[in-house]
Each structure stands twice: as C-alpha cells, then as structure tokens.
Amino acid sequence: MIENGFVYVAVLMVTAASLVFLEKKTHSKIFAYLPAIVILYFVVMLFSTFGLWQKNASITNTYVALKTNLLPAMIFLMLLSADLREIVKMGKKMLATFFLASFSIAIGFIGMFALFQTYFPPEAWKPFAALCGSWMGGTGNMIAIQGALDVPDSAMGYTLLIDSIDYALWVMILLALVPFAKRFNVWSKADTSIIDEVGTRLIKKDAQKESVDFPSVFFLLSVSLLVSTLSQYGASVLPVTSFLDEQTWVIIIATLGGILLAMTPLAKIGGADIVSNSMLYLIVALIASRANFAELTQAPLYIFAGVIVLAIHATLMILFAKLFKLDLFSIGVASLANIGGVASAPILASAYSKALIPIGVLMAMMGYIIGTFGGLMVGKILEMMGGV
C-alpha cells in the first residue's frame, strides 16, 4: 500500500502517460469509443477501490496542493488557443448554430432534471452541472466546474460514466448520419456555400502558428503557474456570495485571463495544448484516486438521464435546422463541438470533408470559452429547481 505522496503522484503519472502512449501508438478501436482520459479515470478508480494507496496526511496534502494549483493553470492554457476574433470570423450563421446547440443542451439538462430530480440525491445538481460544462465545452470545463462547485470526487464517477457511454453513442449516431446530409439539407432548405470558404481560410490561418519547442513549453508552463497564483490571490480579495465563493472566483479569473490573452502574441507560442493536456490528465487521475466503484450504485439511472438530455437536444436541433434553414454538417459539428470537444468535432468534420476540419476545431474552442460559464448557469437553475 502506498503511503508517500510523491510515490502516489508517480503512479498516477505513469498510469496516465501509459494510456496516452497506447492510444497514440496502437490506434486501437477501443480508444475511438473510450478515450484514454476516460479509461484513465476508471483504471485509477479501480486502484482506489482496491486500496492501492492510503488517504493519509501525506497523500491528501499532495492531492489538495496539486489539484488546487494546477486547475487554474490548466484552464488558462486550455483557453489560450481560443481567439475570439477568429471565432467571430466563422460567420453569424455558424456561430448561431453553435449557440443553438449549447442552448438546446442546457434545455436538455433542465428538462431531464425536471422529470427525474426526485430519483436523485439532493446534491445531484452538482455533478449534472459539471456534466453540462463538459457537454458545452470539454473535460477541462467539467473539472473546472467540479472545483468551482466543490463537487465530491465520488459523484464525479457518475459524470464520467455518462460522459463516456452516452458520448460514444452520440458520436456513432452523428457519424452514421453523414451519408444523409444531402437529403437533410434539401429538407431544411440549407445553403452550404459559405462552409467551404470558411474551411479554406482557416487552413491557411492554422499554418501560421509557431512550432513547439522546449523554450515555448517551458515559458507557457511558467506563465500558467503565475496565472494560477494571481487567480488565487485575486479570488481571496473579492466578495463572496452563496454561489460565487472563493474557488468559483479562481475559475472565473483564470478563464477570463485565458480568453483575453488568447488575443495577444502569447497565443501564437506553440505548446499550450500539450501542457494543458498533461495537467488535465493528472487532475483527472487525482480526482479518480479519491473515488471507488462501490459508490456507483445509481449508474443505470444516470446513464438513462444522459440519454434523455441527448434526446431533447437532438429534437430541438432538428427543429432549429428546419426553422433557420441549417445544414446537417453545421448542426452535427456544433453538437459534437459542445458534447465531444476538440477531440471529436474535427473527426465528424473530416467525415464530410478534410477542408472542414478547422471549423470543427474552432467550434470546439468556442466550447472551451462558454463551457464553464454555461455549466455554472445551468447548475444554478438545477439547484433552484431542487429547492436547495
């Protein structure tokens, strides 16, 4: 049994790195449905269930220190690639489609919770808020909301379970619909002429980014840690309310810092995604290390709840497509940019055309920006619905 905090972190890092390496080198089909980060969560949870480490002072202090300080740094770096100026250039129709997808996901969570809230424990709104953040942005947003709302690590098991199983189902459905794009577009009376123009321009823009090297990575790491420090200091002097506590302020400050500095020359330095992903994998492993499978007693109900959210989302998106004359590519990629993030939206975009991959990436970047705020807003609504 592990009792030392350093050994505990070393085991988590080796586990995370091994899964990332296997995903990259083996190209196994299992990673198409269960990304390495999801497998990591359940592998580490399995270690925790069998008591591989003690929850003593050394390990607990290590856990708290790493998670508290790395989370704002990760959020900052994650958003450093999301240049609002480039996102705006996608055009009004694509932006509107993305926000319609986000709105329909929010309605999905609210509708699902209205139907099933009596079947969930009183604090269930918190993991659903975290999941909403993930389904509007990505795993980083989910972890940010967990930190902001102080969601118990045990409850995050349900969030990851829904996120992996229901997400995999949704990806398969959207990919299966690609051959029906022309028929759908005729039905919705969509104009697709602007899509190719945007895709071509974004490919040229992406080629201008600097290459990744050691000085770049080292510099970005140092800046992110400085932002983390400043975020925590700023949060300590800001007023708190029942919803905006100190930890929530930390997340908001780091988020705003990333959004603003993404429009500066700092964003052109390559390597932000590498450093932020490394932090993300470690944070997910840390969270999983405090949970165990014995706590997942209501897993089927949570998975079904996720299906209801997706069903409401899909129904609304089809209605929006008919009402606003949207094409299947736009609503599909907007949906997956929200629910799947930067890891999967480009995959769906490439199924239509390689030239459209940058649109999927840029939409996913938009999800990073709004995911945390959107999830927190939906969480507040769910909290009020539950009468907490």
- Spatial neighbors of 328 by CB under 8 A, at least 6 apart, are 177, 178, 180, 181, 184, 185, 188, 190, 321
The count of other CB atoms within 10 Å of the CB of residue 150 is 11
Give the relative orientation of helices 139-149 and 357-385 as an angle to the nearest 10 degrees: 20
Is 90 exceeded by the pLDDT of residue 152?
no
Handedness of CA 313, 315, 318, 319 (dihedral sign): negative
- Cβ atoms of residues 107 and 315 within 8 Å: no
d(CA 261, CA 160): 30
d(CA 108, CA 106): 5
Residues 116-144: what's their mean pLDDT? 89
Q: Is 229 left (phi over 0), alpha (psi -120 to 50) or beta?
A: alpha
| Residue 170 binned pLDDT confidence (cut-offs 50, 70, 90) | confident
Q: What angle do CA 278, 61, 150 make, to 5 degrees?
A: 70
Which residue range forms the structural domain that includes residue 126? 5-385
Alpha carbon 295 to chain centroid, angstroms? 23
Give the relative orientation of helices 357-385 and 57-79 as an angle to the nearest 10 degrees: 130
Which of 262, 270, 274 shows the shortest CA–CA distance to 369? 262
Q: What angle do CA 278, 280, 284 make, to 5 degrees?
A: 125
Is 90 exceeded by the pLDDT of residue 100?
yes
- Cβ atoms of residues 322 and 187 within 8 Å: yes
Please state the length of the chain: 388
Q: What is the pLDDT of residues 337-374, one digit of tens each?
A: 899 777 678 778 877 766 676 777 778 888 888 888 89
- Cβ atoms of residues 8 and 289 within 8 Å: yes
Mean pLDDT check: name the lowest of 63-67, 291-295, 322-326. Answer: 291-295
Give the relative orientation of helices 345-352 and 328-339 as an angle to the nearest 10 degrees: 160
**Predicted TM-score (pTM) of this structure:** 0.77
- Spatial neighbors of 89 by CB under 8 A, at least 6 apart, are 198, 201
d(CA 281, CA 20): 9
Structural domains of the chain, count: 1
d(CA 133, CA 68): 19
Handedness of CA 202, 208, 213, 215 (dihedral sign): negative
Instruction: Name beta bridge partners: 53.
Output: 2
Q: What pLDDT does residue 343 have?
A: 66
Say which residue the tokens 């069998």 belong to.
50
The mean predicted confidence, pLDDT, of the chain is 84
